[in-house]
Amino acid sequence: MRPPPLPLRRVVIIVPSLFTLFNLFFGIWAMVLATRGDFYRAGWFIVFAGILDTLDGRVARISGTGTRFGAELDSLVDIVSFGVAPAFLMYQVEFTTGGSASWIFCYFYVMAAAIRLARFNVMQAGRAKSYFIGLPSPAAGMTLATYYPFSQTELYASLHGIPWHLSLTFLMIALTILMVSNVHYATLPRAGFRTVSGLLGLALIVVILVFGIWQHDVFLFPLGIVYMIYGVGRAILLGFFRAPAEDEEAEIAGPIVIDESVQTYRGPRRPGTGGAA
């Protein structure tokens, strides 16, 4: 079978990066809306960015057009959409009245997101993954982003006994720690009709889609909390913060070789886009 014409091939290669750049567009737009006080739409635009982040990796894998450039672009965009944008939104919503130093929680969150994405590129980008090492930054970002829509619901109003400012401070700290931890988080399950696991995965995806569309304000913030707790509970049961494997340690500490006055990284280079890091 002859390969497609070169112009068509170039168009197909560009498509995943277009998803990534629209991801960035929604992240920037969310921050603009947050400065205008439109916190509800700002939160949902970060969720839209998360959806696009999932799609760019899947499109690249399906079309076989994953590149190292796509992986690096994806991580750079994710720092904005799931690091800076959610932290800025939470600062505007909750921490502007918390004292002159309350912004430091937002800084540590962004710092952890950047470290988590850099580590993902070294350890997991381009590989088939059955789990993520550390809480994925899109999951952390969308958990923060969906807090404000959740705060506009009747369920939130009925939870008036919860000290929300203190709880959100601890939530920011927990997300910061979990992103840079060795806690394993499951990827989105594979859906199918041939196996029991495939059917269960399909059922889970359908439930998330139905309730995510039908009761999105009420459903998604608690779902993010449940996913965060799930990883910690699983880690406690199976051995909390397992030590990284030898190959993971070797990749993190990959040799830096100076050759003819040029500093290059001689670690493994794998094609592929990031997606859900």
Question: Is 222 domain-assigned?
Answer: no
CB 121 within 8 A of CB 170: no
Task: List pLDDT tens digits, range 166-198.
Answer: 899 999 999 999 999 988 888 876 766 677 767
Question: Is 48 domain-assigned?
Answer: yes
Tell me which H or E stretch contains 257.
strand 256-259
Domain around 110: 6-182
Question: Is 134 domain-assigned?
Answer: yes
Residues in the chain predicted with pLDDT less than 50, given as ranges, are 1, 6, 8-9, 11, 245-273
Backbone angles phi, psi at 8, to 5 degrees: -65, -40
Question: Is 69 domain-assigned?
Answer: yes
Question: Is 226 domain-assigned?
Answer: no
CATH of the domain at 178: 1.20.120.1760
Burial group, residue 261, by CB count within 10 angstroms (0-12, 13-18, 19+): exposed
Domain count, the chain: 1
Structure tokens at 107: 């800084």
Question: Is 190 domain-assigned?
Answer: no
Question: Is 241 domain-assigned?
Answer: no
Task: List pLDDT tens digits, range 79-101.
Answer: 999 999 999 999 999 888 767 77
Please list, in sequence order, all residues whose beta carbon lies within 8 angstroms of the beta carbon of residue 252, skipping any fewer than 6 positions away: 119, 122, 123, 244
Question: Is 38 domain-assigned?
Answer: yes
pLDDT at 4: 52
